[in-house]
Structure formats: structure tokens, C-alpha cells
Amino acid sequence: MSDRTGVGIVGAGAISAQYLRTLTRAPDLDVRFVADLDTERARARAAEFDVPGSGTLDALLADDAVRIVVNLTVPRAHVDVALTALAAGRHVWNEKPLALDRAGGRAVLDAARSAGLRVATAPDTVLGPGFQRALRLVRSGAIGTPLSALAQVQNPGPERWHPDPAFLYGAGAGPLLDLGPYYLTALVHLFGPVTRVQAVAARSREERVIGSGPKAGERFPVTVATQVSALYAFAGGESAQALFSFDSPLRRQRLEVTGTDASVVVGDPNMFDPVPEVHHADGSVLRTAPIRTRIGRGVGVVELARAIRAGEPERASGELAYHVLDVMLATLETATSGKVIDIHSTCERPALFPSTIREGEVD
């Protein structure tokens, strides 16, 4: 018992089920509590996963055995909940985004540093076996010296399938802020921090139409850029070209990294199991074996708990999340101003994830 890390969940919405599936299976975690403003919703979710406690955030914080608060609230509540948990002496895992603006993100990191606590943030797909296999290939020299990357996420927009998509076209969202974290976090794992950005952005339509569900046919306003093309420069001299679009009938989720000897096509960094391909300069191609994994959302919490116990830095660090937030906001700013922006935030490039966190599941 004493060697299991106590965890409490805040926010019993849809994504909490995905987290709980992972966290309740982790042998070194002890999931103790589900909190929600709607305590009945919290109770139901706790029952579904045999979690003993449920109720309010205050009640959660009253349980001294909870060491990590997993913050799955709506984005605009992320900062407040994180600050509350830190003030109560708990480490925090945040769903993405860390915050909606730089000030909020900075406040959370500062509070954690002052208190000697950790703040870590989604996405944790970069810890999955697919991306980690690609990362191992790159770091082991399989592509020679890395030079550049191409990131493309394109689709016709979530209103085709999401029953209530308006928020995905409002402040804090759009394709860049919603999907960019998966790609930019992966790029930082590959190349280290971004140093410079330039971009163009467009909003193709003033309104969009809900495509399915009970509200099908309803119109809603679009207040953010729905296609963003960006060029990033990295500290080591590498560059990346990125496209984030909700304006593309053609669907694509791609990340690829090019080096002097070969390119690695990573696949979709929003998945835990994309299968890397290595394209060699002689034209030969190796598609690596399919990945069977049960690793899913929440693996970053497991990693955070282990890092705390081991006294080592966590991989999905708040510094990294803040840097990615800063880069995304700068991307929008440069698209408006037309001026190249130098990025001043920075972070460590995370270490490879040891493949032993769950026996037989990380390839």
C-alpha cells in the first residue's frame, strides 16, 4: 500500500473514463477519489471504476493519501483547479492545455516551483509505444543527423461528427490550439525547444453548421483561424513546416522527420500506436511491425508518479507544456502581424521513455 501513489481525479466528464481505465490498471497507483461540481456524476464515475471516494474537490483534498491531483476540468478552469491543488500541497497533472494564456500558465508553474511540487500536462501520447519507437530510431542514428520535420493535421472540421462543436471554434481552440499540442510536443521531444516562428492563418467561413446529432443544421460562429501554416526553427538548427487545418476535406494526420540518411514517418502523434516507417535515401522503405498496446490516456500520470518517487524529472513537464503554449500563441501572433517572432521560453528535451513501465505492453 505505502508504495502506491494516491491519485484523485477532478472532473468526471467523458475523458475521465479513458484516464480511469489506465490509472486503475496501473499497479503502482491507488486511485482514491473522483471529484466533480456535479457530485452525482462523480459518484457514478467512481462506482464504474470501483474508486472508493467521490464528492467535491474540497473532499478530495481532505484525503491526505492523494498525492497527485489529475485535473480533467474544462480548459477555463484548469488554472484555478491547479492552483488550488498546489496550494493544498498536491502535485498536479493537467489535461491540455496547461492554461489559456501565458499568464495563467506562468502562475501555475511559479506556484509549483515555490511549493516544491510538480506540474505535468497532457498530451502523453508521446509516451506511447508508437512515438517512442520513432524517437528511439531517430536517437539511435537511423536517419543520420536530423534536419527537419513535416507536421500536417488536416480535416474538414469536427462539426461533421461532434454533436456540440461550437467551443472548438472559439477562444482557446481551433485546429492549432486543439490539435497543435500533439504535434508540437512531439517536435520538442525530437528537436528540443522552438526558437523562432512565422505563420499565416486564415478563417475560411464566418459560420459553420453542426453536421450530426440533435442540433444538426444549427449554425454557430467561428472566431478563430481554421487553417494555420507555420514554419518553426529549433535551437539545434532544425526546422519544421506545419499545417493545422479544419478547412480540408482531405483528412491527414502526419508527422515525419528527415535526416541526412533517411526519413522516419511517425504517423499520427494523437495516437498511442502509430507504426513508424523508415524511408531510406536509396528508395527502400521499412514499415515496422504493428503495435499492440493497451496503453492509453493517463500513462503520463503513471510516469509522473514514478518520476516523483525516483526523484527524476517527469517527461510531460509543465515547462514543456508552457513552452508549447507560448509557441502556439506566438504562431497566431505572427500570423496576424506578419513579423517573425523569436521564442524566449524554453524547456529540456525529455529523455526516452523506458520501455518497461508496463510489462509486455510497451514494445
Asked if 76 touches its own copies (CB under 8 A), the answer is no
Instruction: Give the one residue of 62, 103, 202, 351 binding its own copies; rule: CB under 8 A.
Output: 202
Angle, helices 129-139 vs 174-191, to 10°: value is 40
Which residues inside 161-180 make contact with its own copies, applying CB under 8 A? 161
Q: How many CB atoms lie within 10 A of CB 118?
A: 22
Asked if 250 touches its own copies (CB under 8 A), the answer is yes
Instruction: Give the one residue of 245, 253, 317, 345 binding its own copies; rule: CB under 8 A.
Output: 245
List CB contacts of 339: < 8 A, sequence separation 6 or more. Answer: none
Instruction: Give the one residue of 89, 141, 163, 237 binding its own copies; rule: CB under 8 A.
Output: 237
Nearer to its own copies, 125 or 198 (CB): 198
Instruction: Give the one residue of 17, 103, 171, 286 binding its own copies; rule: CB under 8 A.
Output: 286
Q: 217 is written with which cell numbers? A: 443544421
Task: State which amino acid sits at residue 173.
Answer: A
CA atoms in the 13 A half-sphere facing the CB of 45: 29
Asked if 288 touches its own copies (CB under 8 A), the answer is yes
Find out whether the peptide bond into 97 is cis, omega within 30 degrees of 0. Answer: yes
Closest separation in Å from C-beta 203 to its own copies: 10
- Distance between CA atoms of residues 44 and 42, nearest Å: 6
β-bridge pairing 29-35 and 341-342: unpaired
Count interface residues toward its own copies (CB under 8 A). 54
Asked if 156 touches its own copies (CB under 8 A), the answer is yes
Nearer to its own copies, 18 or 212 (CB): 212
Instruction: Give the one residue of 124, 247, 303, 326 binding its own copies; rule: CB under 8 A.
Output: 247
Task: State which amino acid sits at residue 193.
Answer: P
Burial label, 93 (beta-carbon count in 10 A; 0-12, 13-18, 19+): buried
Which of the stretches 53-61, 85-93, 98-106, 273-281 binds its own copies when contact is defined by CB under 8 A?
Answer: 273-281
Which residues inside 319-348 make contact with its own copies, applying CB under 8 A? 338-340
List CB contacts of 24: < 8 A, sequence separation 6 or more. Answer: 31, 49, 50, 51
| C-alpha dist (Å) from residue 225 to 173, 228, 229, 320, 324 | 9, 7, 10, 24, 18
Nearer to its own copies, 25 or 160 (CB): 160
Instruction: Give the one residue of 258, 317, 331, 345 binding its own copies; rule: CB under 8 A.
Output: 258
Q: Which residues bind its own copies (CB under 8 A)?
A: 143, 147-148, 150, 152, 154, 156, 160-161, 196, 198-200, 202, 204-205, 227, 229, 231, 233, 237, 239, 241, 243, 245, 247-251, 256, 258-263, 265, 279-290, 292, 338-340
